[in-house]
Amino acid sequence: MSIKSRLERFINHKYTDISVAALILVSILLLILETIWEKTQFKLEYKFCVYANDIIILIFIIELLIRFYTYPRKSRFFKSYWLDILAVLPAMRAFRILRVLRLLRIFRMGILLSRRFFSVSALFREGVKEYLIVFFIIIMVVLTGAMTIYILEGAENPSFGSFHEAIWWSTLSLISAEPINAIPNTFWGKVIILVLMLGGLTVFAVFTGVVSAVMVQKLKGGMDVKEIELEQLKDHIIICGWHRAAALIIEEFQADKDFRRSPIVLIAEFSTEPPLDYPVIDNSMIYILRGDYTRIDVLKQAGVESAKIAVILPDKTIQRSDQDRDARSVLAALIIEKLNKKIFTCVELLNRDNESHLQMAGVEEVIISDEYSGNIMAAAAKNYGIISVLNELFTSKYGNQFYKLEVASSWVGKTAMELYVWLKDSYNAILLSVENHGSDPPNPSLVNPDKDYVFKKGDHIIVISHEKISLN
C-alpha cells in the first residue's frame, strides 16, 4: 500500500474524525478561557491557553495538508474546506477580533459527531437530528455574540466587563430578540445585537415556519451524506437498490476482516431511512445517497470511478414490475462498467433472460435469486442436513468459508492432487474448484478438478477454509 493510500485511510478513519471533533471542542474551550484571562491576573493560565491552542491549530493545519494531499479533486478542496482554512490562518492571532472566526469549526464538529455517533439508530436520526442542528446553531450564535461584544466593549462598557456577563447578555438577547440589561456603545457592538435579535427571531419565533424548515433540512441533508465525504472515498463498495437482503449483504461485508473498514455507499430512491439500526452493522462506514442509480451523475457522486465493488439489487423502494427492476439493474450495470473498467460488479436478476446483456457488458457475477432459492430448497429436500453446511459456508461470521486465491508461480506445473494434499496438511483446507480462463475451449470453472490437472499461470482456485490462506 502506497503512502498516499495509507494517509487517505488514516485521514478518513472514524477515530480520526472523533479525534478532530474532540480537538475542536478543546480548542473552543481554550479560546473562551484565553479571552476571559487575557486582561486579568491569570497571566500564566492565559499563556498556557495561547500555547495549547497554537499546538492544536498546528495539528489542524497538518490535518488540512493531509486532506489536500489525498483529496481527489484539488480544485474543489478550497471550496469544501474554506471555513477550516480561515480558522487556522496566522492572521487569527494577529487580529484579536478575528479569533472569533475559529468558532466556525463548531459546524464541522457537529457534522463529524452526527455522522459518527448518531448514526446507530434510525429513530434517533429521524427524531433528534433537527434539534441537534438547532442546538449547534444556538451555541455558535451565543458564543460568537458574547466573545465579540466582550472583545469590542469589555474594556469600556462595564455591562460587558466580564465574559460571564457577556454570555448571559448574548443568551438573553437571543431568546428575547431584544437587548437585555445593556446597550452597546460602538457601531460594531450595535451590529452584534442586531445579529442576535435576528437570530432570536429566526431560531425561536419562526422555528416552525419556512425559514427554520429550510435551514434545518439543508443542514440535515449535509449531515446525512456530504459530497465532500463521497469525493474522498476510494476502493469502497457501492450497493444499488434496496430490498430485505441488503442489510444482510452489508452485515456480511462488515463481518469479513478484508472488507470491515471498506466504506459502503447505498444508493436508492428512499422515502424514509433504511432499516440499518442493527448492533452488528457499523453505520459510521455507510453513506446513504438518495437518488436514481441509473443516472450517471448520481453514480459519479457515489464515487463509482474509484469504487472497488458494485452490487446491484432489484430495487423495491418504489413499486415496479419485475421486468422494470431487471431493466434498471442492466442499465445501471452497463453504466458502471463503462465508467469504471476495473470494478467488480455483481448483479442480482429476477429473470435469466436478461443475463446475456450483462455478460456482453463484462459483468463478473450474475445471480438469479429465484433459481438459486429453488435449487437450494430442492437440494435440502433431497439431502437432509445440507442447509447447515450452506449456512456455514455462506457466512463470514463463523466456521469455514469460500476463498478465491491466485495460484502462485511456485505451483505452476504441479497437479491438483499435490495442492489438495498440501492444503489439507498445512491449513486443513479443501480444494473445491479451479478457474482456468486460458483453456481451449475456455472452461472458467472446474469444480472438483481431476487429480492430474496441471496448474497453469493465471489460474485461480476456490478453497474452503477457516481463514484466508497464502499459497506462497
Model pLDDT for residues 180-220, shown as the tens digit of each residue:
666 777 777 777 777 777 766 666 554 554 344 544 444 44
Of 189, 210, 231, the domain-final residue: 231
Pair 25, 91 in one domain: yes
What is the helix (H) or strand (E) element at residue 151, kind and residue range?
helix 129-153
Pair 96, 199 in one domain: no
**Residue 255: which CATH number?**
3.40.50.720
- Cβ–Cβ under 8 Å, residues 421 and 396: no
Q: What is the pLDDT of residue 219?
A: 47
Q: Within a domain: residue 394? A: no
What's the Cα-to-Cα distance from 366 to each of 28, 247, 253, rounded to whole Å? 53, 19, 18
Q: Within a domain: residue 461? A: yes
Pair 182, 273 in one domain: no
Kindly report the number of other CB atoms within 10 A of residue 349's CB atom.
Answer: 25
Angle at 71 between CA 66 and CA 75, to 5 degrees: 120
**Residue 150: which CATH number?**
1.10.287.70
Pair 164, 240 in one domain: no
Pair 366, 239 in one domain: yes
472 residues of the chain, pLDDT tens digit each: 578 778 877 887 777 878 888 888 888 788 777 777 766 667 787 788 888 888 888 888 888 888 888 877 777 777 777 777 777 775 455 545 555 666 667 666 766 665 555 444 444 444 455 556 667 777 777 777 777 777 777 667 766 767 767 777 777 777 665 666 667 777 777 777 777 777 666 665 545 543 445 444 444 444 444 444 677 788 899 999 999 889 889 988 988 888 888 889 999 998 877 877 666 788 778 888 989 999 999 999 899 999 999 999 999 988 899 899 999 999 999 999 999 989 999 999 998 888 888 888 788 889 998 888 888 888 888 888 888 888 888 887 778 888 888 888 888 899 999 999 999 999 999 999 998 765 555 556 788 989 999 998 888 899 999 888 888 7
Burial 80-99 (b: 16+ CB within 10 A, else e): bbeebeebbeeebeeeeeeb
Q: What is the pLDDT of residue 384?
A: 85
Q: Within a domain: residue 160? A: yes
Pair 244, 321 in one domain: yes
All three cell numbers of 150, joined, read: 466582550
Q: Within a domain: residue 314? A: yes
Pair 243, 176 in one domain: no
What distance in Å separates the CA atoms of residue 261 and residue 167, rounded to the nearest whole number?
Answer: 43
Of 199, 231, 263, the domain-final residue: 231
Which pTM value belongs to this model? Answer: 0.59
Pair 107, 155 in one domain: no
Pair 163, 71 in one domain: no
Of 231, 257, 290, the domain-final residue: 231
Pair 192, 94 in one domain: no
- Which phi and psi (to 5°) does residue 144 adopt? -65, -45
What's the Cα-to-Cα distance from 155 to each of 46, 92, 134, 162, rounded to whole Å? 17, 20, 32, 9
Pair 298, 404 in one domain: no
- Cβ–Cβ under 8 Å, residues 255 and 397: yes
In a 13 Å sphere around the CA of 382, the CA atoms on its Cβ side amount to: 6
Pair 242, 335 in one domain: yes
State the residue range of the domain holding 432.
400-465
**Crossing angle of the two packed helices 14-37 and 105-117, in degrees rounded to 10:** 140
What distance in Å separates the CA atoms of residue 145 and residue 194, rounded to the nearest whole number?
Answer: 10
**Residue 107: which CATH number?**
1.20.120.350
What distance in Å separates the CA atoms of residue 285 and residue 12, rounded to the nearest whole number?
Answer: 10
Long-range contacts formed by 83-87: CB under 8 A, 24+ apart:
83/107, 83/108, 84/60, 84/108, 87/60
Q: Within a domain: residue 140? A: no
Domain count, the chain: 4
Q: What is the pLDDT of residue 126?
A: 46
Q: Within a domain: residue 208? A: yes
What's the Cα-to-Cα distance from 425 to each of 86, 407, 428, rounded to whole Å? 62, 18, 6
Q: Within a domain: residue 300? A: yes
